[in-house]
């Protein structure tokens, strides 16, 4: 009985995987062995292990980490506070809403907001700190990236928090735990799955940001995405671009394994 059900679900899903995941991966790996003139070569992989690309990889991972960290730090309290409100689903939708406005427009808006003569600097002058260079810094880059990824972190955490049985919390305080201990040993572990989903949905795409690296950080921050975009669109060196993509996929696989879901009940 169960076998039939499982087979049925697998059919459309595996079909999608083969068509849109496996086939493109094969294409990408295939391309990574060709150089810019179409000759078969391992040269692309050699190139990847040179200082330029290794530095870029490190830089990408570092920034992706920062972005994920800050997203988590900001999203978690937000998600928690949302569960306490009266019209929680409404507020949740309102949090997601800004992400439906076109990214380029929002980036231009930030260019204006963070500009030398923009509102942010006016505010800083008002409170006495004085004009600062906000644009084209690491700060603005991480800030805007977190801005973009926040809904992806809030949603899964919110869902996890909603699932949390309130009686656990009451039990904890009955047993004498203060707020921090309750959080550390009851709430957070039970919402870990949501946190993991959120981190995956943020960290992994953050590795290949390229629009924001140009618009907000003025190419001060270089990610692997910058290089890929250049190779694919400008140089037409699909081989090198594909090689970088292969490494991104491997990195992703490793991260998935490291943060893998351990069995904890469930249906099967």
Partner 1 sequence: MKKLVRVFSAIFIISFALMYLASHLNASQGFTGGNTLNVYNWGDYIDPDLIKEFEKETGLKVVYQTFDSNEAMMTKISQGGTAYDVTIPSEYAIAKMKEEGMLIPLDHGKLPNLKYIDERYMDLSFDPGNKYSIPYFWGTFGIVYNPKMLGGKKLTSWNDLWDSDLKNQIFLVDGAREVIGMGLNSLHYSLNETDKEKLMEAKKKLDTLTPNVKAIIGDEIKLLVANEEAAIGVVWSGEAADIMWENEDLDYVIPEEGSNLWFDNMVIPKSAQNVDGAHQFINFMLDPENAAQNAEYVGYSTPNAIALELLPDEIKNDKRFYPDPELTEKLEVYDNLGKKMLAYYNDLFLEFKMHRK
Partner 2 sequence: MKSNGKLAKLYLILVFAILYAPILYLTYYSFNSGGSMRDFEGFTLEWYKEVFQDTRLLIIALNTLIIALLSAAISTILGVFGALAITYVKRQRTKNTLQTLNNVLIVSPDVIIGASFLIFFTIIGIRLGFTSVLLSHIAFSVPIVVIMVLPKLQEMSSSLIDAARDLGASNWDILSKVILPFITPGIFAGFFMALTYSLDDFAVTFFVTGNGFSTLSVEIYSRARQGISLEVNALSTLIFLITIALVIGYYFINQRNVKSSAAGVRKA
d(CA 10, CA 23): 18
d(CA 70, CA 75): 8
Among partner 1, partner 2, none, what binds residue 65 when CB lies within 5 to 8 Å by partner kind?
none
Q: Is 268 in the site for partner 1 (CB under 8 A)?
A: no
In which residue are the tokens 């309130």 written?
A: 166
Site for partner 1 in 17-76 (CB under 8 A): 36-37, 52, 55-56, 59
Among partner 1, partner 2, none, what binds residue 243 when CB lies within 5 to 8 Å by partner kind?
none
Contact map string, positions 104 to 123, toward partner 2, x by CB under 8 A: xxx-xxx-xx---x-x----
Helix (H, G, I), strand (E, B) or coil at 12: helix
Contact map string, positions 131 to 150, toward partner 2, x by CB under 8 A: ----------------x--x
d(CA 222, CA 62): 11
Q: Is 90 in the site for partner 2 (CB under 8 A)?
A: yes
- CA proximity to 58, closest of 257, 44, 66: 66
Q: Is 222 in the site for partner 1 (CB under 8 A)?
A: yes
Strand partners, 40: 34
- Within 13 Å, how many C-alpha atoms sit on residue 11's CB side? 5
- CA proximity to 48, closest of 242, 235, 181, 179: 242
Site for partner 2 in 226-245 (CB under 8 A): 228-229, 232-233, 238, 241-242, 245
What's the min distance (Å) between Cβ of 198 and partner 2?
9
23: CB partners within 8 A, 6+ apart:
none
- Cβ–Cβ < 8 Å for 215, 107: yes
Nearer to partner 1 by Cβ, of 156 and 231: the residue is 231
d(CA 150, CA 236): 33
- CA proximity to 226, closest of 201, 218, 193, 20: 218
Nearer to partner 1 by Cβ, of 15 and 233: the residue is 233
Q: Is 216 in the site for partner 2 (CB under 8 A)?
A: no
Contact pick of 29, 74, 111, 169 for partner 1 (by CB under 8 A): 111
Contact pick of 17, 93, 94, 233 for partner 1 (by CB under 8 A): 233
Site for partner 1 in 153-212 (CB under 8 A): none
What's the min distance (Å) between Cβ of 260 and partner 2?
6
Q: Give the angle subtended at the CA of 63 by the CAs of 71 and 192, to the nearest 5°.
A: 40
Which positions touch partner 1 (CB under 8 A)?
36-37, 52, 55-56, 59, 107-108, 111-112, 115-117, 133, 135-136, 214-215, 217-220, 222, 226-227, 230-231, 233-237, 240
């Amino acid at each position: 009985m169960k076998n039939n059900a499982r087979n049925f679900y697998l059919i459309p899903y595996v079909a999608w995987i083969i068509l849109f995941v496996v086939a493109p991966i094969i294409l990408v790996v295939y391309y990574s062995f060709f150089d810019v003139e179409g000759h078969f070569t391992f040269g692309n992989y050699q190139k990847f292990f040179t200082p330029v690309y290794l530095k870029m990889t490190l830089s990408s991972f570092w920034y992706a980490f920062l972005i994920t960290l800050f997203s988590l730090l900001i999203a978690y309290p937000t998600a928690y506070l949302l569960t306490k409100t009266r019209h929680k689903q409404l507020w949740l939708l309102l949090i997601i809403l800004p992400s439906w406005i076109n990214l380029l427009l929002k980036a231009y808006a930030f260019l204006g907001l963070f500009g030398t003569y923009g509102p942010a600097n006016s505010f800083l002058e008002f409170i006495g700190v004085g004009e600062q260079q906000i644009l084209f810094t690491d700060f603005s880059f991480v800030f805007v990236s977190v801005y973009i990824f926040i809904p992806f972190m809030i949603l899964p955490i919110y869902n996890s928090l909603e699932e949390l049985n309130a009686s656990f919390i009451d039990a904890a305080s009955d047993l004498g735990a203060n707020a921090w201990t309750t959080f550390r040993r009851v709430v957070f572990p039970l919402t870990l799955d949501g946190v993991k989903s959120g981190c995956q949905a943020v960290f992994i795409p953050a590795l290949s940001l390229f629009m924001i690296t140009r618009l907000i950080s003025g190419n001060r921050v270089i990610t692997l995405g910058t290089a890929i975009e250049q190779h694919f669109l400008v140089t037409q060196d699909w081989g090198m671009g594909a090689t970088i993509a292969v490494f991104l996929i491997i990195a992703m696989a490793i991260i998935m394994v490291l943060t893998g879901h351990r069995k904890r009940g469930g249906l099967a």
